[in-house]
Structure 1
Amino acid sequence: MVSRRSFLQASAGTMAAGAMFSPLGMRSARAATPFKPIELPYAFDALEPFIDARTMEIHYGKHYAGYIEKLNAAVAANPELEGMRPAALVAKWKSLPEAAQTAVRNNGGGMVNHSFFWKVMGPNAGGKPKGKVAEMIGAQLGGFDKFKADFAAAAGSRFGSGWAWLVAKGDQLQIVSTPNQDSPLTMGLRPLLGIDVWEHAYYLKYQNRRADYIDAWWNVVNWDQVEENAKSAMG
């Protein structure tokens, strides 16, 4: 059990550690609450025909908004969390007061994961990576075709709800999957790319055909953003 006193004693270290996660909103020492959703960088129908407008509308306006609402409620009920950014909360959820842990893990994870997810997709996207990411995938993951197959396998084999990720640990790339709304940040990993494989991300269009959704999703991957994520993660 984590007491409120021990959390307050440790929070300064948590805030300092959070400064390294700038793409996920962890650079600043303090954050304004209540938290708000990021603005979706494209229209709901911009990812058609690969991801349908109705799915995007519900996913962003209901699921994502719901995670943020519940995270704000958890912070309001635990004032010592005020000023911490969502990604910092998620990265250190196990060290938070016990009363806040589950809400931050689930709803903070939902906020952080989706805020990231919206940005790694876009219209007129897809294709293959270039630059640093392309070089590292070639050198470390066996080339783009093998990476794509392995990433799709990680996403497709995730039992129930969760995510698949391309992450960096230092200058090494890995493919990992996480259950529910768990974030790679909790494992000390920096996400470069991620796909949501909760059914709410695809069921209206693809029903139980998760593999079809994953195959279509590659057409909306914003590799320019993935490259920016890599530069931020690895310098």
Structure 2
Amino acid sequence: MLLLQQAASVACYGGLMVISSLPPTLSPQPLSWRKKTPKIKMKSGQCIMRRALIISELELKPPPYSLNSLEPHLSRETLELHWGSHHRAHVARLNSLIAGTDLDGMGLDDIVIATYNKGSPRAPFVHAAEVWNHDFFWQSIKPNGGGQPSGKLMELIERDFGSFSRMLKEFENAALTQFGSGWVWLAYKANKLDVGNAVNPCPSEKDNKLIVLKSPNAVNPFVWDYSPLLCIDVWEHAYYLDYENRRDEYVAVFLEKLVSWEVVSHRLDIAIKRAADRAREDEKDS
């Protein structure tokens, strides 16, 4: 699970309470979560901390690069619309839907799983999943991206698809045949367990292998207990200003010029470790 940890130290100096917060440490996966700190009531010569409710709220995380740094492949105008308006609206709407509910205070991962509700999504799901998906998408690309992966990632691509070029063709075909809005993913499938959700895609595929799959609207492989490694947003708002209805050109540029294979490789390392840890736990329980 994704964790956001924050430490704080409290000290009194002549009746003045000072709180110093250490910067949060984020896991490699996307998470946009912050807790409001308790209010402080101070009186002369003493320190009094008034107990207050801790309210959890999502915040909009910026992409890990400037909004014009993906040009000419994705324009500043596209990112201002996509991140600055569309992504922002999902964060705001999710905050309003979870405030005061059983979801308030939960991590983003847990909100996505809980609101997916075994394939019968609750109202906040589309917004929670879209926040998760967009955070993941922004981290999947970078200025001067593209090229080819190396190491373990390339080894598994060649094992599971036959070649890097065949994987790209399968990914591109999935992106072009996703009807309407949705996402396309490269994921690590490593679940032999019944995760209690709707029927998983690719049920006949072997475990512990790479797969390409597409999902409608806000759905992502995370809800099927797969480990997403790479995604492309094929909603029209992701590319229409730059490519109009030429989704094929957008997908080709994404794969050739934007993908951060270093990030994908890092995510694979995490996924493999996660699968190995679970296997050891299963052996202990059996």
Q: Given the two structures, how large is their TM-score scaled by the length of structure 1?
A: 0.84
Q: Is residue 92 of structure 2 the alignment partner of residue 73 of structure 1? A: no
Runs of 5+ in structure 1 lacking a partner? Answer: 1-17
Q: Residue 93 of structure 2: SS of its match in structure 1? A: helix
Q: Is residue 254 of structure 2 the alignment partner of residue 231 of structure 1? A: no
Residue of structure 1 in register with 2:15 after alignment: none
Change beyond 3 A, Cα 1:159–1:34: same
Of all paired residues, the percent bearing the same amino acid is 34
Output one character per residue of 1:1-60: Cα deviation in whole Å (capped at 9) or x when no partner: xxxxxxxxxxxxxxxxx469x54357xxx9632101223111111111111111011111
Q: Does the 8 Å contact 1:25/1:86 carry over to 2?
A: no
1:102 to 93, 107, 123: 123
Q: Is residue 57 of structure 2 the alignment partner of residue 34 of structure 1? A: yes
Runs of 5+ in structure 2 lacking a partner? Answer: 4-26, 36-55, 191-207, 274-286
Q: Does the 8 Å contact 2:146/2:259 carry over to 1?
A: yes
Residue of structure 2 in register with 1:169 after alignment: 189
1:198 to 235, 243, 249: 235
Residue of structure 2 in register with 1:52 after alignment: 75
Q: Does the 8 Å contact 1:37/1:115 carry over to 2?
A: no
CA shift at 1:102, angstroms? 2.2
Structure 1: how far apart are the matches of 2:98 and 2:237? 26
Report matched runs for 1:81-230 at 5 Å: 81-95=103-117, 101-103=122-124, 105-170=125-190, 171-218=208-255, 219-230=257-268
Q: Given the two structures, how large is their TM-score scaled by the length of structure 2?
A: 0.69
Structure 2: how far apart are the matches of 1:200 and 1:138? 33
Moved over 3 A (4+): 22-26
Residue of structure 2 in register with 1:63 after alignment: 86
Structure 2: how far apart are the matches of 1:93 and 1:172? 27
CA shift at 1:141, angstroms? 1.3
CA shift at 1:213, angstroms? 0.4
Change beyond 3 A, Cα 1:25–1:51: closer
Q: Residue 154 of structure 1: SS of its match in structure 2? A: helix
Query: May I ask how many residue pairs the two structures share in their alignment?
Result: 210
Output one character per residue of 1:68-104: Cα deviation in whole Å (capped at 9) or x when no partner: 11111111152x11221112211232449x9x8122x
The one-letter amino acid paired with 1:69 is: A
Change beyond 3 A, Cα 1:48–1:94: closer
Q: Residue 81 of structure 1: SS of its match in structure 2? A: coil
Which structure has more strand as a fraction of its residues? 2
Q: Residue 192 of structure 1: SS of its match in structure 2? A: strand
Residue of structure 1 in register with 2:45 after alignment: none
Structure ID, larger Rg = 2
How large is the RMSD of aligned CA atoms in angstroms? 2.0
Structure 1: how far apart are the matches of 2:111 and 2:174? 26
Q: Does the 8 Å contact 1:31/1:83 carry over to 2?
A: no
